[in-house]
Amino acid sequence: MFENLSGRLGGVVKTLRGNARLTEDNMKDALREVRMALLEADVALPAVKQFIADVKVRAEGQEVVGSLTPGQALIGVVYEELTKLMGAQNDALNLAAVPPAVILMAGLQGAGKTTTSGKLAKLLKETQKKKVLLVSTDVYRPAAIEQLKTLAGQLAVDWFPSDVSQKPVDIALAAIDHAKRHFYDVLIVDTAGRLAIDEAMMAEIKALHAAVNPVETLFVVDAMQGQDAVNVAQAFNQTLPLTGIVLTKMDGDSRGGAALSVRHVTGKPIKFLGTGEKLTGLEPFHPDRMASRVLG
């Protein structure tokens, strides 16, 4: 990912060598390269514009001290701004709640909600010794309910039964009740996804959110969606008080620009990256690592 950007920034260093101060003029070509690289990485235009503007403001007039070349100084600013844009540090899940801590999974169909629900259950069980319960409220697709049941079986995590004749809110409330009575630490609520955003779907998940009062509302988004991720993220962010983002399919050949775009449009922290179909493929997101990767 972003191989082009590191290549281009190598060029930036050369372009600016020998100048003692960063000026609008000597940064112009370099910033154009950064802009093009970000666009090629599928970062949405408004996010790119904002980023370039921030870098410009930060860098302009900056004196280049010590043994740094102006190019290195500019790369420093680009790196810092990129890290800042993606969040200053890794944000962990907030599970501080009277148990069960409810995690609501939101996103379009195919984004990876069900897979991520299973991955999260595994992670919380193994790394934090949490007692986790999984439930599906996808009453439109019996296959989705079965998929979660199968995952729960593979993971040896408990699963709360539901079926297509029930209402999503009723399922979730019954699962919370069950979780309370059986002392679960965490309840992960998987939700229905549609192929596109529609009002009925948004109203349903809003009602579900109000009913279950989750400590975490995670927006799951496919990194391969590139620029399209922006509109979907915007719609979910306007409907729900999202607490975090999971960017899935980072193992694919996407350029990863969705990370910057989704972050820009929601302002919410990316908490995890999905890195494979296997249930071990979930990693905490580290903005600084991502920035390093971006810059090579």
**Residues forming the site for ligand GDP (CB under 6 A):** 107, 109-115, 193, 248-249, 251-252, 274-277, 281
Smallest gap, in angstroms, from Cβ of residue 223 to ligand GDP? 8
Residue (35 or 113) nearer to ligand GDP, CB = 113
217 is in an annotated binding site: no
146 burial (CB, 10 Å; 0-12 / 13-18 / 19+) is exposed
56 burial (CB, 10 Å; 0-12 / 13-18 / 19+) is middle
Pull the structure tokens for residue 230: 């922006």
89 is in an annotated binding site: no
Pull the structure tokens for residue 243: 């607490």
Residue (48 or 192) nearer to ligand GDP, CB = 192
153 is in an annotated binding site: no
End-to-end CA distance of the chain: 9
Smallest gap, in angstroms, from Cβ of residue 218 to ligand GDP? 11
Residue (86 or 232) nearer to ligand GDP, CB = 232
Residue (100 or 281) nearer to ligand GDP, CB = 281
Residue 263 to residue 255: CA distance in whole angstroms: 15
112 is in an annotated binding site: yes
Q: Are 260 and 47 a contacting pair, CB within 8 Å?
A: yes
Residue 249 to residue 259: CA distance in whole angstroms: 12
Residue 279 to residue 296: CA distance in whole angstroms: 28
289 is in an annotated binding site: no
Smallest gap, in angstroms, from Cβ of residue 44 to ligand GDP? 21
Q: Which residue is nearest to ligand GDP (CB)?
A: 274
Smallest gap, in angstroms, from Cβ of residue 205 to ligand GDP? 13
**Residues flagged as binding site for GTP:** 107-114, 190-194, 248-251
